[in-house]
Amino acid sequence: MSTVVAQAPAKINLWLSVGTPGDDGFHPLASVFQALSLGDEVRATKAEPGAGISLSVEGEGASATPVDSSNLAWAAAELMANALGVPPDVHLHLSKRIPVAGGMAGGSADAAATLVACDALWRGGLTRDQLMALGAALGSDVPFCLHGGTAVGTGRGDRLTAVLARGEFHWVIALAEGGLSTPAVYRECDRLRGVDDVRQPELSDAVMAALRVGDAALLGAALGNDLQAPALSLRPQLRQLLDAGLDAGALGALVSGSGPTCVFLAAGREGALDIAVSLSGSGLCRAVTCTTGPAPGARVVSRG
């Protein structure tokens, strides 16, 4: 075997409650993640002994994606080689559909797909728990990209519990111009709250109940994201985009994670198309995609 191809999903946060940061600077979270059918693909190909890691990128935001060790996929291959005690001789080719710096865990999905692909390429045979531990060392969202489905995340968002979610949800994703830096959005969240506002993250009973019965209208009304206010503070135009989606019939609208991508919940496939057409013509966003959730976590799709 000289090539392994793996896919990993984008994530959205149906709920993101952010607490006051701890001594490590990280914010404790209570989050409900959903993995989407929109995802990235990583092709890992064995390289000559001593060649080391190399990386190439095509697709959405390819020109904005680094092709050196600052790419999370590169770091994932390095970490996996160390964990398995093999030389890190591999070429990674990333086919991207998830927006870069969009609040949808694009970099984390690439890292998750790379872990799974390199584990197969180098015949590591790591357990799910071992993969999760390596993922958490790379970034807070990598474990969920490995996990997939719908899950509650606590801690930094990396301690996961699967959630029973009935049915399939139709989402419209609107890609805004440019990215937003995750640390900058967390800093803005702290600044808006002020030092006296000390809080613990909390889960939403309404979100959990809506998922249990698979009711899109209930879920749309229950969606929530503490990082939306800071993202809107840094990028006020996003408010118009959210309102345009609601005017087009979305059951709920919110900034995805730290933004600036916005997500809209539709009643069904037809409704999603209507929202997508309306947003495409609004001039408020750069691109629009229809997708569904939940979707599986990172997995090998072919080897050869």
Q: Is 182 in the site for ligand C5P (CB under 6 A)?
A: yes
Smaller CB separation from ligand C5P, 140 or 228:
140
Active site residue: 119, 141, 158, 226, which one? 141
Q: Is 11 in the site for ligand C5P (CB under 6 A)?
A: no
Q: Least CB distance from residue 62 to ligand C5P, whole Å? A: 21
Q: Least CB distance from residue 105 to ligand C5P, whole Å? A: 8
Q: Which stretch in 36-44, 133-141, 199-207, 289-297 sits in contact with ligand C5P by CB under 6 A? A: 133-141
Residue (of 60, 284, 38, 265) closest to 176 by Cα position: 284
The binding track of 12-31 with respect to ligand C5P, each residue x by CB under 6 A or -, is ---------x----xx-x--
Q: Is 256 in the site for ligand C5P (CB under 6 A)?
A: no
Q: Is 71 in the site for ligand C5P (CB under 6 A)?
A: no
Q: Least CB distance from residue 29 to ligand C5P, whole Å? A: 5
- Could you write out the DSSP letters of every residue in the chain? --EEEEEEEEEEEEEEEE----TTSPPPEEEEEEEEEEEEEEEEEE--TT--EEEEEEETTGGGS--STTSHHHHHHHHHHHHHT----EEEEEEE-SPTTSSS-HHHHHHHHHHHHHHHHTT----HHHHHHHHHHH-TTHHHHHHBSEEEEEETTTEEEE----S-EEEEEEEPSS---HHHHHHHHHHHH-TT--------HHHHHHHHHT-HHHHHHH-EETTHHHHHHH-TTHHHHHHHHHHTT-SEEEE-TTSS-EEEEESSHHHHHHHHHHHHTTTS-SEEEEEEE--B-SEEEEE-
Q: Which stretch in 6-14, 138-146, 244-252, 279-287 sits in contact with ligand C5P by CB under 6 A? A: 138-146
Q: Which of 88, 139, 149, 259 binds ligand C5P (CB under 6 A)?
A: 139
141: annotated active-site residue = yes
The binding track of 142-181 with respect to ligand C5P, each residue x by CB under 6 A or -, is --------------xx------------------------
11: annotated active-site residue = yes
Q: Least CB distance from residue 128 to ligand C5P, whole Å? A: 20
Q: Which residues are catalytic?
A: 11, 141
Interface residues with ligand C5P (CB under 6 A)?
A: 21, 26-27, 29, 139-141, 156-157, 182-183, 186
